[in-house]
Chains A and B, each alone.
Chain A
Amino acid sequence: MASVFTRNKEGGGHAIRRNPYATVALLVLTFLVWIFLVFPVVWILIGSVRTSETLFSTTSFDFTLDHYKTIFRAGFGRFIANSLFVCLIAVVISTVISVMASYVFSRKRFRGKRWLFGSVILGQMFPWIILVTPLFVLFAKIGFLNSYIGLIASYVAISIPFSVYLLVGYLESVPRELDEAATMDGCTQFQTLWTIVFPVMLPGVVATATYSFLLMWTEFLFALAFLTRTNLKTMPLGLVQFFGEQNVDWGAVMAASAVTTLPALMIFLPLQSKLAGGLTAGAVKG
């Protein structure tokens, strides 16, 4: 604490404070960065409350909430609920499986570990687009088309590699002595993982789960191929539905875009400080 105080007083700020031009330049730069960051989203928000006739006009602006009414009448509320359902279940399954695997990878020695861990890690680099047709054929055989089972399983599959990668990195910051002490106290390995280690690694798990959620929340190709029934569709499908062939309902697209962005933002706000650090936590420490 003392050191931070000292540095702020005489250290980092020192050189800059003496130069008012640098301060102004930095503030201007910050302001420009802000504009760059938020302008596109602000533009969506404004566009979503303009009438279709004045949407692209530079001279007139008519306020309306019609676009929001349109999208919810078209079932957008349902699509959001579907997306939440699919993504939450998939996130839970993916995280549990990844926690189990990463614990074993981190704590156990066994033959073939390099290969197995290596192939999990390589899964991150896999071009998922080539999975669409083979999975479609497979799902058709076992009746997983137009069923959330297939979609959820696919989402678990695409999020596992990165989750394991993050969690193994995170587990490196959890002292092994903790496990050993638990074993001494007579815990089974299973108990050790879920009652002793899991609570300690919870921040890492939350960060991992959030990344998985984001990946699934915006996934489009699998959902498009596997879900065709209107009442099953997820949000990204709902969004592209407003892009007709003969015309695009831009107002609805904007309103839907705003609604799509909001849930992710709400998840981010409370978690933001935990998320960024988690990504390379293992790396920085190691």
Chain B
Amino acid sequence: MNVEAHDRRFIVLMLAPIFLFLVFFYGYPTALNLYYSLTDLSLLGMKEGGTYVGLEHYADLLTSKDFYRTLWNTLFWLTGVSVVIRLVLGLGLALLLNSATLKRYRLTTISRLLLLVPWATPPIVAVVVWRWLLDGRQGMINKFLMNIGVIDEPVAFLANVNTVWPALITIIVWNTLPLVTLTFLAGLQSVPDELHEAAEMDGAGPIHRFFHVTLPHLMPSIVIMGLLLVFWTFNNFIYVWLATGAGPGLFTNVLATDIYIKGFVDFHLGYSSAVGMVMAGIMAIFGVIYFRLVALREFKDVL
């Protein structure tokens, strides 16, 4: 057997399992979803199947006012704002943990350990506990804020249109910030000391050093982390659904909860599949951009 054929057999053998998983768990369901999205299939009529309605659901979707609000919620609030906040806070917290002061008082290790607590908390639990804390009547946060006189009347954080998104984002940040922080901390600790020393010799102050030494060094981590957060958050269903149920009204509805509401609450599987396809489509566009701009560079030795 020649080397090339041998090599080919090895490659096929090693990739066969992942390929099978891709086909059965991504390819096949996506194709079936695409088909569903062209029918009026209902959960009540799954036995008979749906009738073909063509692009009707897509037309309905693209002309519905609620859909654009849902899209905006998903892109701006759920994904955009929450990711930016986590990156900024994560960086700040990493700098704090890496600061000489904390090191001097030996607080870095314990801080790192405490960071594990929210990270290890399952999202379902995180939402449950924050719902209590943010509760408008019995919630600790309201009681605390009233005691110190910041507010006179309790605020229903998860029901008030002015506070519901910040409250939701607080929950998401609490649960996922540790990962971001620890990643950046690892990055900070890999900044060669020589770089700082050289900059210091040149008379650079801490701010100058941050922008010209630390930040450039961390930039690849920040970009990758940002992208991972976007992927994870955009598709996330659990935070919004359990915290607000997409309410008040449909004020915090996002694409993932819309799929759930349309498909599993209202039973319109066809329509829900159409929303799902739109969602997958948006992610695919995003994915291609990511692939061209970042992955090709990130994996330049691979591809």
Q: Report if A and B touch in the complex (beta carbons < 8 A).
A: yes
Per-residue interface assignment for chain A, residues 1 to 37, with 1 indicating a CB less than 8 Å from any chain B CB and 0 otherwise: 0011011100111111100001100110110011011
Tell me the A254-284 residues at the B interface (CB within 8 Å): 257, 260-261, 264-265, 267-269, 272, 275-277, 279-280, 282-284
Contact residues in A for B269 (Cβ distance below 8 Å): 133
Per-residue interface assignment for chain B, residues 38 to 74, with 1 indicating a CB less than 8 Å from any chain A CB and 0 otherwise: 0000000000000000000000000000000000000
Contact residues in B for A260 (Cβ distance below 8 Å): 122, 124-125
Contact residues in A for B14 (Cβ distance below 8 Å): 100-101, 103-104
Q: Are B36 and A133 in contact (CB under 8 A)?
A: yes
Q: Are B122 and A280 in contact (CB under 8 A)?
A: no
Tell me the B107-160 residues at the A interface (CB within 8 Å): 107, 111-126, 128-130, 132-133, 138, 140, 143
Q: Are B279 and A43 in contact (CB under 8 A)?
A: no
Is A198 at the interface (CB under 8 A from chain B)?
A: no
> Residues on B close to A: CB < 8 A?
7-8, 10-11, 14-15, 17-19, 21-22, 24-26, 28-30, 32-33, 36, 93, 96, 99-105, 107, 111-126, 128-130, 132-133, 138, 140, 143, 174, 178-179, 182-183, 185-187, 190, 193-194, 196-197, 200, 206, 220-221, 223-225, 228, 231, 234-235, 237-238, 255-256, 259-260, 263, 269, 273, 276-277, 279-280, 283-284, 286-287, 291, 295, 297-303
Per-residue interface assignment for chain A, residues 25 to 68, with 1 indicating a CB less than 8 Å from any chain B CB and 0 otherwise: 01101100110111111011001000000001010000000000
The smallest C-beta distance from A218 to any residue of chain B, in angstroms, reads 4
Report the bound CA distance from A39 to B220 in whole Å. Answer: 33
Contact residues in A for B113 (Cβ distance below 8 Å): 269, 272
Q: Are B287 and A122 in contact (CB under 8 A)?
A: yes
In this complex, what residue of A is CB-closest to B93?
Answer: A33
The smallest C-beta distance from B225 to any residue of chain A, in angstroms, reads 6
Set A37, A124, A239: member contacting B231, Cβ < 8 A: A124
Contact residues in B for A280 (Cβ distance below 8 Å): 183, 186-187, 220-221, 224-225
Q: Are B299 and A282 in contact (CB under 8 A)?
A: yes
In this complex, what residue of B is CB-closest to A104?
Answer: B14
Is A117 at the interface (CB under 8 A from chain B)?
A: yes
Contact residues in A for B255 (Cβ distance below 8 Å): 127
